[in-house]
Each structure stands twice: as C-alpha cells, then as structure tokens.
Amino acid sequence: MAQGLIPNLGSARSGTSGFQFTKVSVDPRAASLGNSSVADAMDASSLYWNPALAVQAEGSQFMTNQTVYFVDINQYYAAYLQHFRNYAIGFSLQYLDSGEIDETTEFNKFGTGRTFRTLHYNAGLTFSQRLTELFSYGITARFMHERIEEVEMTSGALDFGFFYRVGETGLRFSVGINNFGFDADPSGETERQTLNGILIEDDFESVTLPTTFILGTAYDVWENEHFSVMLTAQLTNPSDNAERLSIGSEVGYMDLFYLRGGYQFGLEEISLPSVGFGVEKEFLGVNTKIDVSYTTYETLGDITRFGFNFSF
C-alpha cells in the first residue's frame, strides 16, 4: 500500500551519505505523529525539525529526550531555547552512543574476541525571527562528528526553515532544508581480516551529508472547551533515499492529556502506526510536558522515546 501511494523514486540513492544518525527523530511527540511535525514543532524540538518555529514557541524552553533505539543503542537530545521579543536563539545537542559491540567478520561469525563502538554527535546553534504575526524564518548552524572504530569524520551544515500561518484559520505551512553543507573526509585506520592476512585500511572516500527537503502542514480541525483535534502531514525528500509521506493526528483533553498517532508511507519496515501520549501541567510557574512514543519496525524491532519539556 505504501509503495503504491509514494513511488520509490530514490531507492537507488540509499547508502550514499554519511551522518545517518542525524535522521533519527529526537523527540517522542514528533515520532508519535509519524515524524510529520515540521509545521507544528512549537517547542524546543523546533531546533531539530525547523528553526523557523523556534520563535513561535511559547516562552523560553528546555528539553531533554531519550531514544531507546535498536539493539540497546541509545540516543540523547537536549535543547535550550531563549526568546527576545520577535527573536529567538537556541542551542541543541544530539548524541548517539552504540555502546560496546562484539566484532564479527566473515571468518569469525560468532565474534573475534574484540569489541568496538560508534559515537556520534551533532551540535547546533539556532537563530529565528518573527517578521510578522503570520511569518517567521530561522537558520541553524551545525557541527557534526562521527567515530566508528578508529575512523573519524567531521563536517559543518546549515538548516533553513520558513513558517507561515494562514490567519486565524488554524492552517499553517512550513518548508525546510536540513543538513546542507560540506563533504567530510574520514581519517584514521582500521584493520580487516582477509584471505591474505590482516589488511590496514586508511584510505577512504569523502562522505556527503544527508541533505533533506521537507514540506509540511498542520491544521487545527476542531477545538472547544474540553477537546482539540489537530492533523499534520509532511513530505520528506532526502538526498540519499526514497521520498516519503507522513501523516499524524493529536487529540487533546483540557490542555492536559494528549493522544497521538501517525504513519509513514514509503518505508518498507513500517506496517503499523506510531502511537504516543503526553501530559502537560504547570508546577511552580514552569509548564512541564512529559511525552512518550512507541514505533514498531517489522525486522529491526521497536523504538521507545521519552521526553521532558519545560517552558518558563
């Protein structure tokens, strides 16, 4: 069904870029909406999704999230967002650590006795400005680093984002370009067992960034004293993979409890919707949100995300 709705136009590009960890969703709310929140990330997660939304968030914010990824790999995200009238600046950090992994080869399928690990981080500095009540833009400068075994690579990138609110209709649109930057040149060396003995590899090709174009919309369908309903949709076009369409929905009760669901068309591993919930409450003048999401992949397993967001 997914392949019928979204043609697999970019599958031949799969595996052509590095820094793949930057495409792993960092926050549970977006994940539970099927990663379709580029037009509605109105909190510190905007520093990851769309810098134009940073100035649309209410107050200054601090966010911290954890992603329990496949095979016990953990990803962490922290972001701080500060408002200055019609401006906002923010700092974000995405960090993924594989932990110790047993090394296996085609000659030692059950392990060589050695272990290795991979470390990845992505630090961003964001500036956002509200030009009118309806329009804002933003830009994020990123520093990215990866280390796999003893091989390292570093690069810089830019994110651009634009946001437009269609008056009081509840409809809004966003456009973003993420990870636009320079190729990285890996350095270091690694050992490989071959039929002719140990081979030392220290000559690597340049690695490109996974630049992504995103177009999204969000719509407040219905709201009364107790309930609210919102729909989201997003078209994602990565430079190194097939295009995909994401949709999501959020139902809120009394601005206190939220139920969410979403689906991503164009991903072979996805056959079930993502789900999640959130709780929002003010304590001592600080608005606190707790979010949880759950995503199922057919072969690789499940991903659970937990997050806290504080507005003050």
* Mean pLDDT in residue range 28-35: 98
What's the angle, vertex CA 92, arms to CA 163 and CA 39, rounded to 5?
Answer: 20
* Mean pLDDT in residue range 303-308: 97
What is d(CA 306, CA 103) in angstroms, rounded to the nearest whole number? 30
Q: Per-residue pLDDT tens for 41-86? A: 999 999 999 999 999 998 899 999 999 998 889 999 999 999 998 9
Tokens of residue 111, six digits: 């392990």
Q: Check if the beta carbon of residue 55 is closer than 8 Å to that of residue 83.
A: yes
N- to C-terminal Cα separation, the chain: 44
Look at residue 14 in the predicted model and tell me its pLDDT: 60
Q: What is the largest CA-CA distance in the chain?
A: 74
Q: Per-residue pLDDT tens for 223-240? A: 999 999 999 999 999 999
The dihedral built from the CA positions of residue 262, 268, 271 and 272, taken in this order, carries a sign that is: negative
The average confidence (pLDDT) of the chain is 92
* Mean pLDDT in residue range 96-108: 86
Q: Per-residue pLDDT tens for 158-214? A: 999 999 999 999 999 999 999 999 899 999 998 877 777 788 888 889 999 999 999
The dihedral built from the CA positions of residue 297, 46, 305 and 263, taken in this order, carries a sign that is: negative
**pTM for this entry:** 0.91
Q: Check if the beta carbon of residue 16 is closer than 8 Å to that of residue 238.
A: no
Number of domains forming the structure of the chain: 1
Look at residue 55 in the predicted model and tell me its pLDDT: 97
Nearest to 259 by CA among 235, 284, 229, 221: 229
For position 112, which CATH number holds? 2.40.160.60
What is d(CA 241, CA 210) in angstroms, rounded to the nearest whole number? 9
6 has pLDDT over 60: no
The three-state (H, E, C) secondary structure of 236-265, written as one string? EEECCCCCEEEEEEEEEECCCEEEEEEEEE
DSSP alpha helices (H): ranges in 163-215? Answer: none
Tokens of residue 63, six digits: 């966010």
Q: What are phi and psi of 23, to 5 degrees?
A: -95, 0
241's CB contacts (< 8 A; 6+ apart) are 10, 11, 13, 14, 210
Share of the chain above pLDDT 90, in %: 75
What is d(CA 45, CA 64) in angstroms, rounded to the nearest whole number? 9
Q: Check if the beta carbon of residue 260 is closer than 8 Å to that of residue 46.
A: no
DSSP state of 17: B
* Mean pLDDT in residue range 261-286: 93
User: How many CA within 13 A on the CB side of residue 100?
Assistant: 5
Look at residue 197 in the predicted model and tell me its pLDDT: 78
Q: Check if the beta carbon of residue 60 is closer than 8 Å to that of residue 289.
A: no
What is d(CA 165, CA 290) in angstroms, rounded to the nearest whole number? 26
What is d(CA 89, CA 38) in angstroms, rounded to the nearest whole number? 18
Q: Which domain holds residue 57?
A: 2-311
Tally of residues, the chain? 312
Look at residue 109 in the predicted model and tell me its pLDDT: 82
The dihedral built from the CA positions of residue 54, 57, 61 and 64, taken in this order, carries a sign that is: negative
7 has pLDDT over 80: no
Nearest to 161 by CA among 191, 128, 131, 184: 128
Look at residue 264 in the predicted model and tell me its pLDDT: 96
Q: Check if the beta carbon of residue 252 is closer than 8 Å to that of residue 53.
A: no
